[in-house]
Structures are given as C-alpha cells and as structure tokens.
C-alpha cells in the first residue's frame, strides 16, 4: 500500500500550491497524450496511469500519489489518497480532493459521516461558541420581531382617529375667585384674542420656530432628532429644544382626547395624531392654532394676549427682538414669571439669546445681526392686571394664589383650569381695615407702614387684612410678609406656658428690676412696682418685664416656644431669637407678622384651640367637584382652663386704669389684648380679641432712601396709633354682631411665689407715680448707667409699655435687642425678620 502524505503541521509548504498546479497541468496533458509508464512528471515524480486515464479521463496528480476515478468523498487538505479510483478537484485557494473507495475509506478524515474531523465549520465551533445560535437564526428572529412590532405600530396608527373636537375651554379657561359672600373678587385667565396667520408677522413665526421646533417646515409632525436632543439635554444639562414639535403641542393644547398626563401611551398617541394632522393640515393652519392657544405667562394665552401683556402692543407691531423674547417664554412660562417677579432676569435672558441665535441660523440674511445688535432682551411693561389687581384687590389675589400653590395648584392651573375659588375675605371688612388704617395714620410720615390682620378664631379664616395702600404702587404685603420683633405683644405666650405648667394667676413675681437671667444682660422695667412684688394679673396689665423673665426661667424657654409655635408663630424665628437673645425672648425679641399674631391670640379666644391660618375655603373644578377643602381640624395648644385664666389677665390690659391698652375698649362687649413697643420705638403693636374675632395691628418705619428700619418717633407706641387703628376697625367689624362674653375664670393652678407676697396694709403705703420710673437707666456696654434726659423708658427695656396719662394717650414703651445693649435694630431689621423691598412702585409681584 502506498504511503499517504499529509501536509506539514502548521500548514502546507510554500511550494505546494505551485507543485499541485504543475501536476494538474501535466495530468491534463496526459489525458490528451497518454503518458508512458514510469515517465517522470514535470514535478520529477514517477506517475502511474490507471485504466481511467487510458480511457481519456483527465487526472490530477497530487504529491502523495495518483488519484483515479471511483466513489467521491470530500477530503480536507486538497489531496486524494493513493488508491485506485480516487479523483481530486481543484477548489478556491487549495486543492481539495474527493476520495473514492481507494482513499482513506469510511471513517477516515474525508468521511463526513465518520468520527473524523468533519467539515470546517464544525471544527471552528468548539467550546462555548457551540451554544451560540447561528447567524441565520439571529437574522430570522430579528426579522420576525421587527415585523411584529411594525405590524402592531401600523395597527395602532390605523386605529388612532384624527381629532376633530376642540377642547371646550380652548378659548376661555379662566378661574373665578369669590369673596366669602360669593360675590366676585377676580376672574383669572385671559380670553384669547384670536388672530389669523396672515396677521402674524414673519418674524414672529420665525422666532417661534427657532425656539420650539426648527425642523417644523420640513418634518412630518414629529422630530426624532429633537427627541434625541431632549434626551441629551436631560443628561448634559444643556438648554435645547424640547422633544415635542409644534404640531404635537398644538394637538395637545387644542383638541379633546389628548391629556396633559405624562405617560408613554399618551405620548405615542400624540405622535400618531401629529403625523395625521400634518398630512391633513397646512403648516400655516397648524401654526395659527398653535399661536392662538399656547401659554406665554402673565395670564396671557395666545400671541395677541402675550403681545399686550408684555409690550402693550398688537401682534403686528412686534419687532424681531420682542418676538424672540415671547417665543423663548413658551418653554416654561410659570418658572420665568416667578424668576422675573423675584427680579431674576437671567433665565429669560438666556432663553432670549438661544432664540435669536436660532433665528440667525435659520435666516442669516434677515436675522444674522440680531445676536450682536440686540444681545439683551427688550424691556417689558410692568405686570399689572388693570381689571383685578388695582387697589387692595391685588393683595387678596396674590395671597389666594400663594396658598393654592402651597397646596398643589399653581398659577397656570388656576388660569387654565376653570376653577371656582371661594376665599375667606369679607369685602366689607377689607374696606373697613383700609379705612381704619388710613384715617388714623394720615398725619404720619409716608415712611411709616401699618399691617393689620383679622382672623376668626373659631376656624382660622383670615377675614380681613391691610397690607398696603395699593398693590399697583406697592406690592409688599405688610400683613403677611413684614416680620418684626413682637416686643411685649409676645408676653401672652409666656403667660400661657406659666398657666399650663400648673401655676396660678395669684402667684407673686419680681416687680422691681433689674433682673439677670442666664445668657441675657440685665433687664429692667419701664417702672417698678412699689413693694417689689407683683401678681401675674397686674404684671400682665402693666407689662412688668422682670415678672415675665421669671416666668420664662421657671417653665423653660422650650415650653414657651412650643406654645407659640403651636399657635402659628414661626418656630425657626423663635429658635433664632432664643439663640441670639436667650431669655429676652420672653419679652419679645422674636420676629412675627400681623397674621401670625392674630392667629396666635386665637388660642385664648377659642378655648386653647388653634386652626391653621388660611385664605381659601374651598376650590371647585369645572365638573363641580370639590378638589380642595379647608383644614377643619384644630390643634389643642393649651387647655380651655389655661385659656380662660389668660383672658382674665389680658382683659386687665384694657380694663385696668393702669393698663397699657385702655384705648382699645369697646363700649358694648368684652375685649382682651396686649400692647408692645420695641427698642427706640422701632415697632409698635396692639393685638386684641373678642370671642368672635382676633385682630393684630403692627407698625414700623422704613427709610425711603436706604430701606433701613428707623424709629417711628416718640408719639408712636403700642398704646397710641396701633391701638387706635385696632379700635376703629373692631368697632366696625363687631357692629351688629352678637355680644358674647368671655368664659369665667377657671382659677386653676397653685400659687408659685417667686417673690415675697406683700403684707396687706390697711392704708396705702405708696402711691404709683407714672412719672417715677423707679430705678431709671440701663447699663450700657461699659456698664455705665446714662439715663437720657426727658425719657421715661430707656433703651434696654423690651416692651417698656406706656403708662396712661390722664387723657389716656399713653406714655412710652420700648424694648431692646435681647443682648442688653438697648439698640439692637440700628441695622434696620429685626433679627431674622424679612427686609421689605424698596417701597417705590415696582410693578412686579413680591
């Protein structure tokens, strides 16, 4: 048997291909001219001719022997085996023989059915690769899957109808705010002034396209590149166009059936609708509906309303710069409104720059110079609603919107949602508050500001307030926003903590100063009590500082803060005052607003319960469903007994001949309350209540040039102007109301004498002289006492309450900063208090 040669390990010899080719050529030649046995071939190897060769069949000679005819088997390596009947074929880059029976035979390397190597593909797929599917299977699976997905999309697209019905409120989605008697306070939401597309100048169209959908004129209603850019902006933080095209936005805002919810189903439906609308409508038709429905801010829906709201012009008068500014606002109008109200113009300026850059790229010949010629957005008109924000109405509307926003309904929802909003405001009493303030302060400097708030203690409704003379001229709302030191008007919360701790009104306290408490400079009184001791009732009526500092030390500041915070006072401000002034908190170093004080005193008028202060009773949507209700669950801050006993002491402020609030008395009903005046007369208060109404009046002065807070002047203390304003308002507010008496004294608690109880005397040993302030003077920072001439009450007495003169006009009442230096507010603001903006007209919401 002939020896079969195999290729060398690692591959064929370099000359093998050449030799096989030569052998093949020789064999073909031999087919035409029979070779003689033993005749050498061109390769120099002996050749033997089989019978098949003699019959004229061509042979190919391999290096390993002669191939003959016979059965055909595929052999790897390109050479046939040396047996009779074998045949070799030349294929591709190698010689692949096919063996007959004379080859390796069954099971050999060339037999695909035997245990040999098999074909080339099987030899390559070894190890983990044998588990991978064939590429043919992958392609086939992907094709079937894609066909299924596209089929489903096609079915969904075919079943999505083209919308035909506009939204019911597409041209009027305004809301109405009502007074408490259900008369109209304001209508919010602009009725669009529809304009046809031929009335819209080209620069407006170009600006909107540049801002919202730069492929609008070419796309088919959707923009996949825009979707990708939107995704990138989310990742990178860049400001680019949104994913929704103008066609999609128009469909969503104009037609019924496309909600504003965020869901994949809604987005897919929106895409289908946009594609269909793009086929049925011209670009001008789409743009016209878009421009008449889109929201721009300031309550302006549609381009014509926006042109009026921001520039007081018709749409046809808009310049390219104005158009660019308005187009930029479409992206997030509510956010831009809030920023501009806060005097932050950066967001709208950034958006304006983006739009003019896009315009210059869309039409360089027409707008190429815009970025350099007009880099700053054009000036806008001040935001004023001529119909509903004039006078004091703007203050009410602003507070309603602010509360709705806190409870999840923002301004855009109000202006587009068609709500009926029922406020707590009494129209008659709002006018009464304005009249009471302005008539009783008309002789004062215009730098002096007054805030008034009146709250029904039985439900927490703010029924009236005075925040300023005119919203259009001065948007700052003193009733809600001006945080000032409470001075002696804070003492009732200390009294409540004292009673809640189980101590009685009959307890005796220190009536003579000074007193030193931990972390606090010595505190004095405006006048000392003869004998040096005073009970709680008299201490309250005459506002004795030393007594209230002792009460605060005894119960602890945490208890005082807990009660005040439970009554609606800002706890953060209280903690700041505690940190900065320690026990001076007990005599009013914390900052409060008139609304907080009116609500705070409601715990006394309403048996210890406090309702959250609020201005909205309920909100009803267009389907007549109530979507927002008032909170009718009170917080029991102190016991009813503690509240009743506190009223006994607070009534003496008004009833006692030496009480500081005698001018607040109403002739036909009981009144309780407390005065307060801060250091150097920088703030003055009167807070008082009847069983049906709790009202706070606070005053302060702000320099027009510097905005710094400055003294009110010697004629303004808690017992003078604030008390007069309070009396004038309450007299009108209680007119015709049922006369309800306060509950009787509970007389609970045990006597806790922190000062010796004076011995009874059959005859007076000393009479009180209002001109004698006892130990006048207050140590300055160097410990030297320098009482100012002619001043009954020195800086350093927080709540140095006035003592009534014979005519009842009152004396002086002051307070310090709590650190004992007697002049804590020279910087112009109470610690932690909000600083009011420039009182000049701003035309912007606060």
DSSP letter string, 31-46: HHSPPPTT-B-TTS-B
Sign of CA dihedral 746, 750, 753, 756: positive
**Tens-place pLDDT, residues 486-520:** 999 999 999 999 999 999 999 999 999 899 999 99
Whether pLDDT at 21 is above 80: no
- pLDDT at residue number 85: 40
Tokens 């009046």 correspond to: 697
Q: How far apart are CA 700 and CA 449, in angstroms?
A: 6
pLDDT of residue 814: 37
Contact in structure between 621 and 515 (CB atoms under 8 Å):
no
Concatenate the DSSP letters of all residues of 727-769 into one string: HHHHHHHTTT----PPPPP---SB---SSPPPPP-SS-S----
**N-term to C-term CA, the chain:** 110
Contact call for residues 613 and 599 (beta carbons, < 8 A): yes
What distances in angstroms separate CA 29 from CA 48, 57, 66, 718, one per listed residue?
14, 11, 15, 133
**Out of 95-104, 240-249, 449-458, 708-717, least confident range:** 95-104
Confidence band for 550, pLDDT divided at 50, 70 and 90: very high
Write the DSSP string, 169-228.
Answer: TTT---EEEE-TTS-EEEEESPPP----GGGS-HHHHHHHHHHH-TTTTTSSS--HHHHH
Under the phi-then-psi rule, with left for phi > 0, alpha for psi from -120 to 50, and beta for the rest, what region is 543?
left
CA separation for the pair 400, 410 (Å, rounded): 11
Taking the C-alpha atoms of residue 572 and residue 659, their distance in angstroms, rounded to an integer, is 32
> Mean pLDDT across the stretch 243-258?
77
The SS3 assignment for 57 reads: coil
More confident residue, 255 or 642: 642
Give whole-number Cα distances, 746 to 306, 602, 645, in Å: 63, 18, 6
Enclosing H/E stretch for 546: helix 545-555
* Residue 547: predicted pLDDT: 97
Helix H or strand E segment including 94: strand 94-98
Report residue 171: phi and psi, to 5°: -115, 5
- Whether residue 291 contacts residue 302, with contact meaning beta carbons closer than 8 Å, is answered with yes
Which pLDDT belongs to residue 759? 78
Cβ 700 vs Cβ 837: under 8 Å: no
Q: Which of 242-246, 461-465, 535-539, 586-590 has the lowest mean pLDDT?
A: 242-246
| 777/796 Cα distance (integer angstroms) | 9
By the 8 A CB rule, do 513 and 523 touch? yes
Number of Cα atoms under 13 Å in the Cβ half of residue 525 = 29
- DSSP bridge partners of 162: none
Q: What DSSP line would sit under 757-802, residue for residue?
A: PPPP-SS-S----TT--SS---B-TTS-B-PPTT-SS-TT-TT-PP
Please check the confidence at residue 237 and state whether its pLDDT lies above 60. Answer: no
What confidence score (pLDDT) does residue 103 get? 41
Check pLDDT > 80 for residue 101.
Answer: no
Residues 189-230: tens digit of each pLDDT:
756 678 999 999 999 999 999 999 998 888 876 766 666 665
Q: How confident is the model at residue 775 (pLDDT cuts 50, 70, 90)?
A: very low
**271-309 pLDDT per residue, tens:** 767 677 777 889 999 999 899 989 999 888 899 989 999
Question: And the tokens for 386?
Answer: 């001529």
Predicted local distance difference test score (pLDDT) of residue 373: 95
Q: Which residue has the higher pLDDT, 231 or 415?
A: 415
Give every CB contact of residue 235 below 8 A, 6+ residues apart in sequence: none
pLDDT band at 769 (very low <50, low <70, confident <90, very high): very low
Q: What is the mean pLDDT of the chain?
A: 77
Return the pLDDT at 695. 98
Give mean pLDDT, residues 329-337: 94
pTM: 0.58
**311 pLDDT above the threshold of 80:** yes
Q: Is the pLDDT of residue 782 over 90?
A: no
Report the pLDDT value the prediction gives residue 6, as an integer from 0 to 100.
43
Quick check: 138 pLDDT over 70? yes
User: Could you tell me the pLDDT band of residue 257, with boundaries at 50, 70 and 90?
Assistant: low
Tokens matching residue 375: 């880099």
Residue in this structure with the two tokens 């506190």, named with its chain if needed: 646
For residue 682, pLDDT beyond 60: yes
Nearest C-alpha neighbor of 2 from the set 45, 39, 44: 45
- If you average pLDDT over residues 379-404, what whole number do you get? 90
What pLDDT, on the 0 to 100 scale, is given for residue 264?
A: 60
């Amino acid at each position: 048997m002939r020896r079969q040669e195999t290729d060398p390990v690692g591959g064929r010899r370099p000359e093998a291909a050449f030799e096989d080719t030569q052998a093949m050529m020789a064999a073909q030649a031999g087919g035409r001219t029979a070779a003689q046995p033993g005749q050498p071939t061109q390769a120099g190897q002996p050749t033997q001719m089989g019978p098949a060769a003699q019959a004229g069949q061509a042979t190919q000679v391999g290096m390993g022997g002669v191939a003959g005819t016979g059965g055909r088997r595929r052999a790897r390596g390109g050479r046939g085996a040396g047996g009779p009947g074998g045949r070799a074929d030349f294929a591709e880059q190698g010689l692949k023989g096919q063996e007959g029976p004379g080859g390796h035979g069954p099971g050999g390397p060339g037999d695909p059915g035997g245990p040999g190597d098999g074909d080339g593909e099987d030899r390559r797929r070894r190890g983990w690769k044998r588990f991978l599917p064939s590429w043919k299977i992958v392609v086939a699976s992907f094709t079937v899957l894609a066909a299924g997905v596209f089929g489903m999309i096609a079915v969904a697209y075919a079943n999505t109808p083209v919308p035909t019905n506009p939204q019911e409120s597409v041209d009027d989605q305004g809301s109405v705010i009502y007074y408490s008697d259900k008369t109209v306070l304001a209508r919010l939401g602009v009725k669009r002034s529809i304009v046809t597309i031929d009335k819209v100048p080209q620069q407006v169209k170009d600006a909107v396209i540049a801002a919202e959908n730069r492929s609008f004129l070419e796309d088919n209603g959707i923009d996949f590149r825009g979707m990708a850019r939107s995704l990138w902006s989310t990742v990178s933080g860049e400001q680019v166009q949104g994913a929704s095209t103008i066609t999609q936005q128009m469909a969503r805002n104009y037609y019924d059936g496309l909600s504003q919810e965020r869901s994949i189903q809604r987005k897919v439906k929106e895409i289908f609708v946009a594609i269909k609308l793009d086929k049925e409508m011209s670009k001008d038709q789409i743009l016209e509906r878009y421009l008449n429905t889109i929201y721009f801010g300031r309550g302006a829906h549609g381009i014509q309303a926006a042109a009026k709201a921001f520039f007081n012009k018709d749409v046809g008068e808009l310049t390219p710069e104005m158009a660019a500014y308005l187009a930029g606002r479409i992206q997030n109008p509510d956010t831009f409104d809030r920023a501009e109200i806060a005097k932050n113009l950066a967001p709208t300026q950034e958006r304006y720059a983006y739009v003019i850059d896009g315009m210059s790229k869309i039409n360089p010949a027409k707008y190429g110079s815009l970025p350099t010629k007009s880099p700053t957005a054009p000036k806008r008109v001040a935001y004023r609603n001529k119909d509903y924000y004039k006078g004091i109405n703007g203050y009410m509307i602003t507070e309603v919107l602010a509360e709705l926003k806190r409870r999840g309904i923002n301004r855009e929802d109000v202006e587009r949602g068609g709500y009926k909003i029922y406020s707590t405001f009494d129209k008659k009493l709002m006018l009464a508050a304005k009249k009471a303030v302005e008539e009783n302060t008309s002789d004062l400097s215009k730098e002096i500001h007054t805030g008034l708030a009146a709250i029904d203690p039985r439900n927490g409704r703010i029924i009236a307030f005075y925040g300023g003379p005119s919203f259009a001229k001065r948007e700052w709302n003193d009733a809600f926003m001006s945080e000032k030191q409470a001075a002696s008007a804070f003492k009732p919360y200390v009294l409540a903590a004292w009673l809640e701790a189980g101590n009685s009104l009959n307890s005796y306290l220190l009536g003579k100063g000074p007193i030193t408490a931990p972390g606090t400079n010595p505190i004095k009184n405006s006048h000392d009590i003869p004998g040096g001791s005073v009970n709680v009732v008299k201490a309250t009526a005459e506002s004795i500082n030393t007594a209230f500092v002792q009460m605060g030390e005894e119960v602890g500041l945490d208890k005082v803060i807990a009660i005040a915070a439970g009554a609606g006072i800002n706890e953060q401000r209280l903690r700041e005052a505690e940190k900065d002034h320690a026990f001076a908190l007990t005599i009013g170093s914390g900052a409060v607003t008139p609304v907080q004080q009116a609500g705070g005193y409601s715990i006394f008028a309403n048996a210890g319960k406090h309702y959250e202060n609020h201005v909205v009773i309920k909100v009803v949507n267009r389907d007549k469903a109530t979507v927002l209700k008032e909170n009718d669950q009170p917080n029991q801050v102190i016991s009813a007994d503690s509240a009743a006993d506190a009223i006994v002491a607070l009534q003496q402020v008004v009833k006692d001949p030496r009480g500081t609030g005698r001018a607040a008395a109403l002739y036909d009903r009981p009144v309780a309350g407390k005065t307060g005046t801060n250091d150097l007369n920088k703030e003055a208060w009167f807070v008082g209540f009847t069983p049906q109404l709790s009202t706070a009046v606070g005053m302060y002065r702000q320099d027009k040039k510097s905005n710094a807070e400055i003294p009110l002047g010697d004629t303004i203390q808690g017992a003078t102007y604030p008390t007069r304003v309070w009396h004038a308002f309450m007299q009108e507010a209680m007119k015709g109301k049922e006369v309800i008496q306060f509950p009787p004294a509970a007389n609970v608690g045990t006597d806790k004498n922190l000062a010796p109880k004076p011995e009874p005397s059959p005859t007076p040993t000393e009479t009180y002289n209002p001109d004698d302030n006892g130990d006048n003077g207050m140590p300055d920072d160097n410990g030297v006492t320098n009482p100012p001439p002619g001043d009954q009450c020195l800086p350093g007495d927080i709540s140095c309450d006035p003592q009534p003169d014979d005519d009842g006009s009152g004396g002086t009442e002051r307070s310090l900063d709590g650190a004992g230096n007697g002049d804590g507010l020279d910087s112009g603001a109470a610690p932690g208090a909000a600083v009011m903006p420039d009182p000049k007209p701003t035309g912007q919401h606060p």
